[in-house]
Amino acid sequence: MIEFTDLHKAFGPKRVLAGFTLTVNDGETLVIIGYSGTGKSVAIKHVVGLLDPDRGQVAVDGQIVHTLKRDQLSALRSRIGFVFQFSALFDSMTIFDNVAMGLRRRDLPAGELKDRVAHALELVDLPGTEAVMPAELSGGMRKRVGLARAIAIQPKYMLYDEPTTGLDPVTSAVIDGLMIRTREALGVTSIVITHDMRSAYSVGDRIAMLYQGGVRQVGTVEEIRASADPVVRGFIEGRADGRGAEDAVPLSAREDLRVEGAAG
Amino acid sequence: MLAVIGRQATGAVAGFGRFGLFLADTARALPDARTWGRIIFYQMRRIGVDSLPISLFIAAFTGIVLALLASYTFTGAVPLYLVGTLVGKTLMMELGPVLTALALAGRVGATMAAELGTMRVTEQVDALETLAYNPYAYLVVPRVAAGVLMFPVVVAFAMGMGLLTGWIAATTLLPVTSAEFVRGLRLFYTPFDWQYGLIKSSSFGLVITLIGCYLGLDARGGAEGVGSATMRTVVYSAAMILLLDAYWAVTLLRHA
């Protein structure tokens, strides 16, 4: 279980998260939606200790992430697969080495390592690409390698940071299918960050909308689809009537930014 | 005006603080030999073997110029066999280490800053962390250790090349025989000469790699941030090389 409790995070004057509280239950896929710049990626980076909270906490299986020592944090990270928005593949390494990177921490025999990499690449429909360099792949293929790298370690949790952003609808659907397949094959608990409502409806068990640093609404796909909240409706329907987007960041941040702008 | 000075002072203090934390994190990563042990030889090859051509090129011309400069300076008042003395002492104790380090500040330091800066802004460093790697053990320690170990090796080759071309220049372009050049070379020679040069080189390797790694990992904001980190690495490294050069002269030469 992953629990965000009263999470606060600011970058300089910009307060991104302000009392973000949310629980992700074991085995479910929870999708976090929200306007750009509202702190969705910031929230999940706290789960793997890439960021420390200013206030509040994130607990994974009862372990409070920001209090862990480096070796404890490493042990936690080895149970979490993270798929980055822009893949974050190691561009000086082959696909094999990229996917094997997490496995090398486990000192597996060479044969098993090779098999695990091949299996992970098969799961994302990229068999036989071991010798290819990341620069030779399309954006969609890079995302799939990023996914293979994350699932190769056989994680308990998967975190997806905008896995379909920048992809065409067909490739997005392929990635959605892979996320569903990963959940079914590995039984993982997942958090998916996305703007893409089609993807959210397709992969999510529950959806939470992040707004003004906190959760505006959380519910099943059906509950979110039927939401009467004008902010949620505006977002899921993609209405450009100006409501919501400009108010998406916390009030405190807008005040700080306004003061900064006036001073400048 | 005061506000600008205050902001710059605060920024400088914060920068020193971040560098202190970087050093502490790097020191804490040293026991993780399982991580850095796998890649140190690769970094030693990149920093050492791959830097040899440019270092030898610089040293070759330095040797020639030193021999001719010595001959020009002596103007007949000083015996020409002392050309060997000047070439030897200068190359081993000063120009070999310093010119090589200045060249490698550009080649090695800037490469590290650009590489790690790009990894930082494209989230590859974050990816390493999520795969349970300590980025200091994987990225910083092998580079710094390779710099400390390989800079003296590169400089030793540069010294040899400079002496060789100095000897060739003296014996072909000047009225100096081979025996005279060697006599001059051995005249005031002590093992301390090359030891001093190699100690200096190792310290240059340390600061160049530390600065390159620190500024690379500290890069923010895309291509501009990486460019800035690269440029600052070269500038700060050059300044630190000259400062360290003076430091070693004061601490080791005064009492030698």
CA nearest to B118 within chain A: A91
Which tokens go with A165?
A: 């952003």
Q: A102, B132: Cβ pair inside 8 Å? A: yes
Percentage of chain A surpassing pLDDT 90? 65
Give pLDDT tens digits for A163-184: 888 788 888 888 898 889 888 8
- Total domains in chain A come to 1
Distance from CA of B3 to the nearest CA of A (A): 13
Chain A residues touching B128 at Cβ < 8 A = 90, 101
Distance from CA of B122 to the nearest CA of A (A): 6
Q: Do the domain assignments include residue A23? A: yes
Q: In the predicted model, is pLDDT for residue A242 greater than 80?
A: no
Give pLDDT tens digits for A21-59: 999 999 999 999 998 888 999 999 999 999 999 999 999
Q: Which DSSP category does B249 fall into? A: I
Model confidence at A137, in pLDDT bands (50, 70, 90)?
A: very high
Q: A82, B28: Cβ pair inside 8 Å? A: no
CB distance A107 to A78 below 8 Å: no
Higher-scoring residue by pLDDT: A98, A252: A98
Residue A165, pLDDT score: 82
Chain B residues touching A86 at Cβ < 8 A = 122-123
Buried b / exposed e over A184-205, threshold 16 CB at 10 Å, is eebebbbbbbbbbbebbbbbbb
A66: domain CATH number is 3.40.50.300
A→B interface, C-beta within 8 Å:
45, 48-50, 70, 74-75, 77-78, 80-82, 84-86, 88-91, 101-102, 105, 149, 153
Please name the member of B28, B126, B133 whose beta carbon is closest to the beta carbon of A88.
Answer: B126
Chain A residues touching B129 at Cβ < 8 A = 48-50, 77
Which of A232-246, B64-78, B120-134 is least confident? Answer: A232-246
Distance of CA A193 to the CA centre of its chain: 5
CA nearest to B29 within chain A: A70
Domain residue limits, chain B: 39-253
Residue B74, pLDDT score: 84
Q: In the predicted model, is pLDDT for residue A241 greater than 80?
A: no
Residue A257, pLDDT score: 43
Q: Do the domain assignments include residue A112? A: no
Longest dimension (CA), chain A: 63
User: Region A191-209: what's the mean pLDDT?
Assistant: 93
CA nearest to B132 within chain A: A74
Q: In the predicted model, is pLDDT for residue A95 greater than 80?
A: yes
User: Region A204-213: what's the mean pLDDT?
Assistant: 94
Give pLDDT tens digits for B36-46: 998 999 999 99
CA nearest to B28 within chain A: A70
| Mean pLDDT score of chain B | 93
Distance from CA of B180 to the nearest CA of A (A): 52
Q: A82, B123: Cβ pair inside 8 Å? A: no
d(CA B145, CA B141) in angstroms, rounded, equals 6
| Mean pLDDT score of chain A | 88
Q: Which DSSP category does B154 fall into? A: H
Chain A residues touching B127 at Cβ < 8 A = 82, 84, 88-90, 149
Q: In the predicted model, is pLDDT for residue A263 greater than 70?
A: no
Chosen from B32, B123, B130 to mutate, greatest number of chain A CBs within 10 A:
B130
Residue B78, pLDDT score: 83
Residue A259, pLDDT score: 40
Give pLDDT tens digits for B209-245: 999 999 999 999 889 999 999 999 999 999 999 999 9
Residue A251, pLDDT score: 52
Q: Do the domain assignments include residue A211? A: yes
Chain A residues touching B124 at Cβ < 8 A = 88-91
Q: In the predicted model, is pLDDT for residue B162 greater than 50?
A: yes
The closest of B55, B56, B26, B8 to B145, measured between CA atoms, is: B26
Locus of tokens 């320690």: B141
pTM for the model:
0.87
Q: In the predicted model, is pLDDT for residue B207 greater than 70?
A: yes
Q: Do the domain assignments include residue A159? A: no
* Long-range contact set of residues A247-250: C-beta below 8 Å, sequence gap at least 24: A247/A211, A247/A212, A248/A34, A248/A35, A248/A37, A248/A38, A248/A211, A248/A212, A249/A14, A249/A15, A249/A16, A249/A37, A249/A38, A249/A212, A249/A213, A250/A15, A250/A16, A250/A17, A250/A18, A250/A212, A250/A213
Which of A107-111, A154-158, B92-96, B191-195 is least confident? Answer: A107-111
Q: B132, A48: Cβ pair inside 8 Å? A: no
Residue A256, pLDDT score: 46
Model confidence at A82, in pLDDT bands (50, 70, 90)?
A: very high
Buried b / exposed e over B167-194, threshold 16 CB at 10 Å, is bbbbbeebebeeebbebbbeeeeeeebb
Q: A50, B134: Cβ pair inside 8 Å? A: no
Cβ–Cβ pairs < 8 A, chains A and B: 52
Q: Which domain holds residue A17?
A: 2-79+191-263
Model confidence at B255, in pLDDT bands (50, 70, 90)?
A: low
Higher-scoring residue by pLDDT: A264, B157: B157
Chain B residues touching A44 at Cβ < 8 A = none
Which of A260-264, B71-75, B181-185 is least confident? Answer: A260-264
Residue spans of alpha helices (H) in A94-249: 95-100, 110-123, 139-152, 169-186, 197-203, 221-225, 230-236
